[in-house]
Structure 1
Amino acid sequence: MKEQQFNEIIAWQKETFGQATAFSKIEHLKEEIEELAVDVAIDGIDKRLEFADCFFLLFGAAAADGMTYQDICNAIQEKFEINKKRKWGNPDENGVVKHVS
């Protein structure tokens, strides 16, 4: 996502959902993740739009909590560098792999 698109989405969210908070967006995100999980499980034709809903809410929550586009990009890069240095375990029964150090 480019910064201009991020800023347009955040401005639209503020105008349309002015009372929403970072917390309320996260609660909504939980619901959208469930919808996404169903679409992924059934290989739904519009699952890409469910991914988009989740991105909108996650980025919107970050912005509502005071993060800018650049803050998000920096945090993603910082966490990526941390994750590259970690040791990772084996997948569990759901295919989830967690770090062990």
Structure 2
Amino acid sequence: MEHCPEHSAHDRAIRDHDKQFEEADRQFAETSEQLGTINETLAALREIEHQNQQRIDAMGERLDALENVPADRWNKVADYALTCVLGIAIGFMASNIGL
């Protein structure tokens, strides 16, 4: 049974529309898959960034400790020198008063 030209054109338009819809649906599925992959990659990158920040923080703490070593040594030397000077001064005063 043949259709009139108007119905044939309508059928062709419906088929074209269906093809376009299927292509759009396929592209949407691909885009959704790509977005899922991007989200997984971003989550992995965030974890790497977090781990790197922890390493940087730990290095900063170790660096601070290393920078404080000379200051701690200087403080110890100054304490020993002060103790020595005070010991000599007390000894000198003690010898002057006859102890």
TM-score category by the smaller chain? under 0.3
Tell me the TM-score normalized by structure 1: 0.23
Quick one: higher RCO (CA 8 Å, sep 6+), 1 or 2?
1
Higher helix share: 2
